[in-house]
Amino acid sequence: MFDGLKDKLNSFKENVEEETEPAEPAEAAEEAREAQAAAEGQAAESAEETESADPEPESEPEADDGSDRGLMERAKLAATGKEVIEEDDLEGPLEELELALLSSDVEMNVAQEILQGIRENLIGETRSKVKTTGLVVEEALRDALIDVISVGQFDFERRIAEADKPVSIIFTGVNGVGKTTTIAKLSQWLDERGYSTVLANGDTYRAGANEQLQQHADALDERLISHKQGSDPAAVIYDAAEYAEANDVDVVLGDTAGRLHTSNDLMDQLEKIDRVIEPDMTIFVDEAVAGQDAVNRAREFDDVATIDGAVLTKADADPQGGAAISIAQVTGKPILFLGTGQDYDDLEPFDPAAIVDRLLGYDDEEPDAGEAAA
């Protein structure tokens, strides 16, 4: 999952390491002497100018431009084999990283946010060895990525636990992205945590929709509320909520017709469901492999009926990761789950820190001997 993006992020780390390769000890000593001499020369020249200048009325001291101090600091660092990561060191690697992010379907403004976060976290940092440089870069990259994909994140299970029952959740998105299967997966996920569910088929226009959701309900031993084809979707979901309240069911999971964000009639229908049902949560479902298209659709659906979060299906088949990186930042709403297969248990809660660690290859690292023994 996201292997292509993982490779590109690793390339960025290597590029920064190359750009900030420490000087050899002899070179570092020479640089230290040159920097020291330059700093002392500037200090002497400044003193001479001060002595020869005509006296002036006392005034507030001007801000130190830091040039002398900067030279002295670099001299001291060079003498110990250390250097400061400068903005010029990052210019080339950051340009390459921007192209890598965009080619991985990361939305442009989101890519800019990541680059700015890296600049803020890296520029001015000191390092002494290549290994240390790598760690500094990894930390900066990790923090920047987490900041971007953690927007709006909340604990889904806690929200279910604390909400008044029944909790109504509506699922929306375009055709064929896996909404119905996602509903079945989430029903099992909730059941495993002690919450009862009822399914509602608000996809009343598609032939075979009732039969498809009924198959899932039968496999999960759950109740399905449905009306005949062509019925009002809002009425179906309303009846499911009434059933849940009467039978002490915890969560209503309502399917809706797949629709394009350009389909005005269906988007109006979604707006009506939102108005009539006032769901506790509306979840947008799309494919991770849709990349930038999924990001654009999430934005459009959020404009019509405010979404509370997203589920990305087929994440296991997505080498890029652009949608996973971008959707939260673009909509201000979190990704809640990733679909990682066709089985009911192939639903993974979205943990921003764990996803970033996976992108940076931390999950590929072998444990040391002590950890292996434990």
Q: Token pair for residue 241?
A: 């909520």
pLDDT of amino acid 20 = 60
Q: What is the pLDDT of residue 121?
A: 76
Could you tell me the pTM of the whole model?
0.75
Distant-in-sequence, close-in-space partners of 63: CB < 8 Å, separation ≥ 6: none
The least confident of 232-236, 281-285, 360-364 is 360-364
34 vs 358: CA distance, rounded Å: 44
What CA–CA distance (Å, rounded) separates 35 from 345?
A: 62
Q: Shortest CA distance to 338 belongs to which of 304, 361, 362, 309?
A: 309
**pLDDT at 291 (0 to 100):** 86
Q: Name the nearest CA neighbour of 176 among 274, 285, 281.
A: 285
The answer to whether 320 and 2 are in contact (CB under 8 A) is yes
Average pLDDT along the chain: 78
pLDDT (tens digit, 9 = 90+) per residue, 159-215?
999 999 999 999 998 888 999 999 999 999 999 999 999 999 988 878 788 889 999
Tally of CB atoms within 10 A around 45: 10
Domains and CATH numbers, the chain: 3-43+68-149 (1.20.120.140), 156-351 (3.40.50.300)
What's the pLDDT tens digit per position in 62-80? Answer: 444 444 545 455 444 444 4
Closest of 276, 199, 275 to residue 235, by C-alpha: 276
